[in-house]
Amino acid sequence: MSGVSRADRRLLDAGRQTRTMRWMMAIMLFLTVLAGALGLGTLAASRSLDRQLAGRLTVELVEADAAARDRDAAEVLAMLRGDRNVAAARAVDQARLADLLEPWLGQLGNDPDLPMPALIDVDLRDGGDAAVAAMAARVHRIAPAARLDRHATWMAPVTSFMNLLLALAAGIVLLLAVATGTVVVLAARAGLEAHRGTIEVMHMLGSTDVQVARLFQRRIARDTAIGGAIGGVAALAVTALIGMRLSGLGSALASGAALDLLGWVALALLPLVFVALATLAARITILRALGATL
């Protein structure tokens, strides 16, 4: 049996079972691509957050004497702007600070007798620990009571949560890959049992185990490809819709979760990876079963 005709391909084709297989693969691939999109979007958002917070800190000058506070703030700001490692240094306007504190202090934030800290936002070119420590030492020489708050420190819980989401998405994709392989194995065994008589006739006509396995793996690859195309396209459409909604929120973190070209390519390749996985699982299962029973 050197070739496989259209009639041969129909020998192992069970209509209801084939349709069930396709829809199961469509559901599997829909969930897999969505989980992959969650992981890639979380990874993109995490990297965007890291870029935004790297080297960013705030110098806080707390001084009851407004004149001394303003003098120290001016000296610290001048020192920062003259530092080569400082990309930008901006004094936070006191009126803006009062607006930020209004939910907690009400109109007291505008009281001139209320001591308000002087804040300076700083962007460092090198945000490493050594560079920040050196910067803190220079600031403390001018204002010993000054405090330096690294934005990455107080955003650490958010970063940790995003890493948890990334691990969860990767775990879901892995579990779905295992589930897909299991479904293929069960479908291949069921098909082998349902067509046992046909396979025995094919063997008597000279077909080898490899040729019979090829028929099964072609059918399963076709069903997986059709189901994967349906589920994959639906998941990509849902991902694009969610991406558009996120971009309309006006949040820097949400916008950072948008997938780039490489991310979209990776999602589009997931169905192809699952087709290859299903084909390989079907081939191994059928060859082992035929070798053990026939």
This model's pTM is above 0.75: no
The 10s digit of each residue's pLDDT in 93-106 is 877 777 766 666 66
Domains and CATH numbers, the chain: 6-50+157-293 (no CATH), 63-145 (3.30.70)
Half-sphere exposure of 222 (CA within 13 A, CB side): 12
**232 contacts: CB under 8 Å, gap ≥ 6:** 29, 30, 33, 267, 268, 270, 271
Token readout for 61 is 């000058």
Q: What is the pLDDT of residue 289?
A: 73
**How much is the pLDDT for 252?**
59
The rounded mean pLDDT for the chain is 78
Residue 30 confidence class, pLDDT cut points 50, 70, 90? very high
> What SS3 string covers 122-183?
EEECCCCHHHHHHHHHHHHHHCCCCEEEEHHHHCHHHHHHHHHHHHHHHHHHHHHHHHHHHH
> Which residue, 154, 171, 188, is CA-closest to 56?
154
Q: What is the pLDDT of residue 215?
A: 74
Taking only the tens place, the pLDDT of each residue in 199-236 is 666 666 666 766 767 777 777 778 888 888 899 899 99
CB 53 within 8 A of CB 155: yes
